[in-house]
Structure 1
């Protein structure tokens, strides 16, 4: 088939393919950009592959960068833009179940596409929009199926992360995993332990942010993938319950994903830290999730407590509210915004008496001063005193006398 009106993302890149073809080589758009164009979805990355070897690409174009030349990838600078071009290749010797020990450059498009993970990712497209489908990916697109190219077990032994990619694509596209591919995932699920958790994390979060995350969760359960990831293997029953929730279209970002699991697994703050550290989440992500979980607990009680709103912050309060959408117990976003705006201060720097002011008023530096400032902050937030300098200094003196 031929796509007549190519999305704009292809337009500039077409010129690069044309130049390569004019020099006697084959060149194609490949992978996800072709798949998403066929599905009418937005495109993120445009990948290009060619029969020209890296040294030949470098001779064709005046300006190039050796981006990943050992794997056949060269960045071509063309019309003041960079385009990554990868030579057709075969791969062998996957001792770490992730990356090939040997890469061999070849001239055959078919041999290059044979090493790809799934039929729906094994399309190639000429610069004029003509689609090349050597593995019946079009039928699988039509039937909403995720099917491995060739022997599924071999594909997963080459790269065990592909098993996570299968459930991720199932969620993102709301496609089923074809039976032989599904059975191969179950048979090889233990290989997931060979993969760095950072890479699994990326696929897992993408899966949870897809249009059918419940499908992805259930497929991870049914294929035993959950047995071979950290922390969650202790909570299979709880995850089965999460898979039964109406998650479709509800989660908007990674913070909400982890907050949902923390809530459903009924984790305390220490357990949340343990979970997220085992998945190699950033410290910033962990702190945000802890705040969101605090916000969720407040919203579960159908309360809007000024101190909690202040501590959680508006962004994470809205994240907490989005998680509550899953349970049909969310507040109106405007009500949360109003509650936040009504806070007398939004952060400690807005307190009209800081350490410097109190020291000038006769207070001594030290731990007691810090405690006084914390007490003043709480009193202002809770509406017990006004946030003006004279009132704060007076109250500070009272607090010192009380202690």
Structure 2
């Protein structure tokens, strides 16, 4: 009877057809390909070697540098009131995911390969390989789109209403996160067909086509949008008129420079990783030629990490951020609390000369006759006080027309 009940209720994991995928093993090593249950030679580092120390140092630098740029932008009212700078903060938050979660979790998996939580391993695989690249590219796309709208309205001599500007900024801040979740979550979890009965393992039967689709969706749509929109933004920025009405004014040609640099950093740093991942998913072989992709994947990972470490310096291409360096922080959100170093200094330059000129005005009523002839040049007034001279040579003292 027992054997009959077992045959009536077969194990879903054994009954499901698909590829074996062990998330714990994949997270514990740099790249450990598992095909048909046969594990290739792992490359696990289970000690604090120089490579892991460098990873930890880069994680700390990514966190500190991006926190610094976020605090600096939000601490200056002249910066945080611009939609562009708020979108820069959004890009910084996305890049911080590498330093806050991806790298520390990777170090935990590498140093403790026998103690890897299944849920944490699945979350790390989704965030590190699919979600974080997608949100980063969509956040850059939102920034490029805002610059496109800014330059387009300047060219057409139109100004966006404050309410529309606020609502548009909120939408651009939320869209990268929402779109990435809507596109990637259903497809990624659709590839998890069945889990093994062993609670200590994280072995799944999966459909590799779903993982391949998730990888393509995480890279192609946002990168294609950035790659198309960024050149148009730069072209419009070059054709923008000299007289603009936005304050503070972004210098002509600056949007083209920043969008070009951001596009290069965002797209070309993620493209090698996506390409190697897709090739490893489609090539099924155990010869040394195929296993060399593991080294290529490690290199692409380092490119992504270096991109996140260098990104805070990219925003220094904006003149308003460079000009705000060295000023005091002001976290008040009221309109009256302006920055002490920029607004106040600008007001003093206009008011102080007026106060100095006011006491000089009552000292000049000596010759009221001069007020009747304001059109007479100053050189005539100088020679009127001189001793009387013949009229004939007076022509030589006429003002020089040149």
TM-score class, shorter: under 0.3
- Structure ranking higher in helix proportion: 2
Considering Cα pairs closer than 8 Å and 6+ residues apart, tell me whether 1 or 2 has the greater RCO: 2
| TM-score normalised by length of structure 2 | 0.22
| TM-score normalised by length of structure 1 | 0.22
- Structure ranking higher in strand proportion: 1
